[in-house]
Every structure is written in C-alpha cells, then in structure tokens.
Amino acid sequence: MKIVVPVKRVVDYNIKPRVKADGSGVETTGVKMSMNPFDEIAVEEAVRLKEKGVASEVVVVSIGVQQAQDTLRTAMAMGADRAILVLSEESPEPLAVAKVLKAIHEKEQPGLFILGKQAIDDDMNATGQMLAGLLGWGQGTFAGKIEVADGRVLVTREIDGGTEEVSLALPAVVTADLRLNEPRYASLPNIMKARKKPMETLNAEDLGVDMARRLTVVSVAEPEQRKAGVKVGSVAELVEKLRNEAKVI
Amino acid sequence: MTALVLLDHEEGRIRKSALSAVTAASQFGDVHVLVAGDATVAQAASAISGVSKVLHAADAQYAHELAEPLAALIVSLAGGYDQIVAAAGAVGKNVLPRAAALLDVQPIPEVVRIVDAETFVRPIYAGNALATVKSSDAKKVLTVRGSAFDAAPAEGGSAPVETVAPAANPNVSEFVAVHLSESERPELESARVVVSGGRGLQSEEKFHILEPLADKLGAAIGASRAAVDSGFVPNEFQVGQTGKIVAPELYLAFGISGAIQHLAGMKDSRVIVAVNKDPEAPIFQVADYGIEGDLFEIVPALTAALA
C-alpha cells in the first residue's frame, strides 16, 4: 500500500507571528519557516507504517512556492521515499489543496492519505475532511492512534469529551492529532541521503485545478492585547481582590 | 435568508456551544436546526429560542454523528439554505468541511464575529492575528467559536420537529466505540470557572491537588499541553490552540508557564489568575492577579480560604 502525506511550509512553531504594518497579512519574509508540526506527525506515522511492513512506499507532496522543496527534503530525511512539489502561490486554500490532492490521487493511487489535522498558520483544520469528501472516502480525523488490518483502518479519534473509535474501509484519509506519535529528528546521514531522493515538480494549472481564492483577506489585525495586572503577596490578598475588586467569586 | 445549524449533542444533551451557534446563525435571518440521532435531543431543540424548525435525522446511520453519512445528508438539504453553521467543536470541525467540499465551497472555520452576510472575522496563527475575510461563495459554510457568541436560551421556543429522509450512505465508515471521561464537573468550554494545571503539577498523583479547589468553585479542570503530554491528565483536558478554547469568568492557572499556544486557548477569559514559581513566566503578562510562589502551598491555602 502506498501512503501519500501532504506537508505544508509554515512560519516556525517557535516564532511569534507579526502582523504586517499595512494589515495585509502576517510577515513571512525573512522569518524562519519549517514543516507544519502536525504534518511532521503525519510523516512519522507513514514512515512507521512502512517500517512495520504495512506500507510499501511513502510519497510526500507540498503545494506552494519553490522553497517548499526544503520542507519536502526534511520529510524525505525522516524516511519518505520521494516527493512531489506542486507550484502555486503561497498558502493556497484548503478547497484548492484538496482538489490538487485529488489529482495526485489519480496519478498515484495511494491506499491511504495521512495529513496533519491543521496547519498552524491559517488554523483551518479542513483539508483532510475536504479531500475525503471529494474522493468519497472515509475520514479518521484528529487521530490519536491508528491500526491497519484486513483492508480497514481503525482510528481512535480525539473528541470533545474523550475518544471515539471508528473503522474505515481502505482507501481512506486520516488526519493526525498531537499525540499520534513523537516525530523523529532527521539524522545527518539521512539528511544527506534525502538530497538524492527523487523530487518531481508540477504546476497546479497542469493538474487542471482552479486555484482561485474564495476567501479574500480584507484585513489582518493584531488582537487586543491584555495588560499585565498586579502581583499579590498572599492568598488572603488574592481572595480579597477576587471578591471585592473583580467580583468574580 | 435561512440558515441551517448542525446542532451537536452528547449523552442526550445539546452542547452549549451549539446554542451559541444558533445565536450566531440568527444574525443571518431565520434559523433551522438539524439534529442527528437522539429523538429527545430533537424535542429539546424545538424549545430553543429563535429556532423556527427542527429537522430530525432519525435514521440509524446518523446515531453517532459520523461525518460521511452526515455530510451527505447536509448536502441533500443544502439547497434550501444560504448558510450552513455549526459550533467549532469535534463534530462541526469533522463534518462541515466535508460537506463544504461536496458543495464546492471553501468553509470559514472558527468565526468569532459576523460582520455581514459575506464578511467574517476569524483568528489565525493561534490567535496572534485576527483575519477579516470576505467569501465569494454563494452558500456560506462556517463553524463558530462558542466562546464568542452568547448561548441562545434553551427555552421559550416551540418549533415544529420534522423527520428528514435519509440521504444515500457512502458506507465507508463504521462507529466502533466511544470513551467519555466520567465527570460531575461542568463542561470545560462552558464552565464559569476553570482551574487549570501545567507541568508545575509534577505528576498525575499531585494533579489531584486541584480537585478540592475546583469543587469549591464549581469549576471545570483544564490543563496545558505540557501536563497532557506528561500524562498527568487525558487529552480532553487540554486548553490551547489545538485543544479547547475557553473564555470563563475566572481562569486560574497553576504551574503553567504560558506558551503562546496555551494563551491562544484562554486569553479571552474575563479574569485570569496565575500562580507560578518563576517570576519571568509569560503567563504573568496576561494575568490580572499573579502570585509568585509554590503552588503546593498556595492551592491548599486558597481552597481553605474559600471555605
């Protein structure tokens, strides 16, 4: 079984995002970019399934600007076998990404797509669900655990009040939550090896996908900042303030 | 204009965030709600103030709110609606994007403000920025944050309940089991007070120190990602960018340093109290009241002081 894992290049997890002065978006030039952390978890899961003999090949795909090839190389250093870069504008919308991935499906015929549950830049949490919808496949979103057996995948999902298990017919789409696994660090020899792994470059237009945005950004603003309050010296003082000043207890 | 709200529920109760979604949807015009499964929930939904019709999906395939049949059902009903709305909880986030893809619509997740019928405000980058976006899709599909809209009153309405015909089931998924945390405490997302613990709690055993305090305050218990990753509490306790978004009247953070991903989940609380040994902990920058000190002394003292 072939597994396809889409990966997104985003502003690094540890960088505090800064809104551009003209309010048109968040600054990405000159900012450290990395693989979306949830996508790292997805890559790790696919590589583990290959190591267990469940998967035969792991293909990573990124849809975005030329520099996304660095993200694909990182995924290959973690153990993915080859990569496809689909060139488009930066950070396309989930609907367009899902359509590109559907076109990739027609080309690659994978038995499983594993995606990160959301990208930490636009926080959409939609692409996996949309891809599953377009393909008519089952979806195991917010996965905390997956087991593949007998032509099905059993997914333990993280839901509001606990967990839920669903069984999906393969092929299927799974989206990775935080605790699915702990992704490995790519070793230096594996980083070197990844440079020689194959990477194919395509254009979104060549796949016949309309990438036009449905959501136009009117403006991006900083949220109202909370001001630091006061430090109190004792529990008695805290209780007094909560009772008489904040009137919250 | 008429909006359709997918009203999610758990153990026979309508989620409070679903009532907030009704309030949000009423800004567009008339509101119909869709209840999958449980007939008692459909009855309860007819009493929600501001709802003019309840659609009940009674067929067995909808009993567990599985995304595949439920999205297909929403698509079959969508023709009569201008907006499809749900709370941004586990059900809405699972089902609505799938339905949107089938309708060829780009969904608008986690809306915190509806500017007009085309324009919406939503947080991006873990709430470090607020994007105002305009949708060109003819039909809008959106999830809304429960903490950003007041809950619609659960009483006062008397909407008719209509059973809807099932749509073709894609038959690609089966419900196996659900494991819910047993708790007498209020739901984390809608509690008036939240008592939350982080890495500073040190262990699963020591985390229990928060319980008597939560009991006194009638509070829900939350946790930072560090506490969940360390195995002190299960994942459904997590507050933050990828966990629950809460905005209680009072949020008490014990032994939580205040990573931006955690702040994203609680910074809209009305009053924030932070207790931490580290005077430089970023949580103090958003706290209204802070105490520098050992939480293992402060928590019992605070519990006693509230007697």
Residue A248 lies in a domain: no
State the Cα angle at B73 between B68 and B79, rounded to 5°: 135
Residue A166 lies in a domain: yes
pLDDT in tens, B175-229: 999 998 888 899 898 899 999 999 999 999 999 999 999 999 999 999 999 999 9
Whole-number CA gyration radius for chain A? 21
Contact at 8 Å (CB) between B275 and B301? Answer: no
Contact at 8 Å (CB) between B48 and B158? Answer: no
Residue A33 lies in a domain: yes
Residue A213 lies in a domain: yes
pLDDT at A93 over 90: yes
Residue A209 neighbours by CB under 8 Å, 6+ apart: A96, A99, A100, A103
The residue type at B99: A
**What is the H or E stretch that residue B264 is in?**
helix B260-266
pLDDT in tens, A192-237: 999 999 999 999 989 999 999 999 999 999 998 888 899 999 999 9
User: Annotated binding residue at B128?
Assistant: no
> How distant, in Å, are the alpha carbons of A102, A139, B221 from that of A106?
7, 18, 47
Looking at the DSSP assignment, which residues form a beta bridge with residue A164? A157, B178
Per the CATH hierarchy, to which homologous superfamily does domain B188-305 belong? Answer: TPP-binding domain (3.40.50.1220)
Contact at 8 Å (CB) between A198 and A63? Answer: no
Residue A234 lies in a domain: no
* Residue-by-residue DSSP string for B168-198: PP---EEEEEEEEPP-SSPPGGG-SEEEEE-
**B contact test, residue of A13, A238, A239 with most B CBs within 10 A:** A238
Residue with tokens 């020899």: A189
Preceding peptide of B153 cis, ω within 30°:
no
Among chain B residues, the shortest Cα distance to A25 is held by B131
> Residue A89 has what pLDDT?
87
> How distant, in Å, are the alpha carbons of B48, B58, B62, B163, B208 from that of B41?
11, 11, 13, 13, 34
Parent domain of A50: 2-220
Length in residues, chain A: 249
User: Annotated binding residue at B258?
Assistant: yes
Q: How many domains does chain A have?
A: 1
> Residue A91 has what pLDDT?
85
Residue A52 neighbours by CB under 8 Å, 6+ apart: none
Q: What is the largest CA-CA distance in chain A?
A: 69
Q: Which of A167, A107, A109, A108 is nearest to A139 (CA)?
A: A167
In chain B, where are the structural domains located?
2-163, 188-305
Which of B126, B260, B290 is opposite residue A231, by nearest beta carbon? B290
Contact B102 A134 (CB under 8 A): yes
pLDDT tens for the 307 residues of chain B, in order: 999 999 999 889 999 999 999 999 999 999 999 999 999 999 999 999 999 999 999 999 999 999 999 999 999 999 999 999 999 999 999 999 999 999 999 999 999 999 999 999 999 999 999 999 999 999 999 999 999 999 999 999 999 999 999 999 999 999 999 998 888 899 898 899 999 999 999 999 999 999 999 999 999 999 999 999 999 999 999 999 889 999 999 999 999 999 999 999 999 999 999 999 999 999 999 999 999 999 999 999 999 999 7
CA A41 to chain centroid, in Å, comes to 8
**Architecture of domain B2-163 in this structure:** 3-Layer(aba) Sandwich (3.40)
Contact A94 B106 (CB under 8 A): yes
Q: With beta carbons under 8 A apart, name residues in chain A contacting B10.
A: 160-161
Which of B102, B123, B235 is opposite residue A158, by nearest beta carbon? B235
Q: Does the fold of domain B188-305 match that of domain B2-163? A: yes
Contact B176 A221 (CB under 8 A): no
Q: With beta carbons under 8 A apart, name residues in chain A contacting B301.
A: 235
pTM, two decimal places: 0.94
Distance from CA of B36 to the nearest CA of A (A): 17
Contact at 8 Å (CB) between B96 and B141? Answer: yes
Tokens of A239: 């209780």
**A contact test, residue of B235, B266, B286 with most A CBs within 10 A:** B235
The domain that holds A87 is classified in CATH as 3.40.50.620
Which of residues B282 and A161 earns the better pLDDT score?
B282
Among chain B residues, the shortest Cα distance to A240 is held by B305
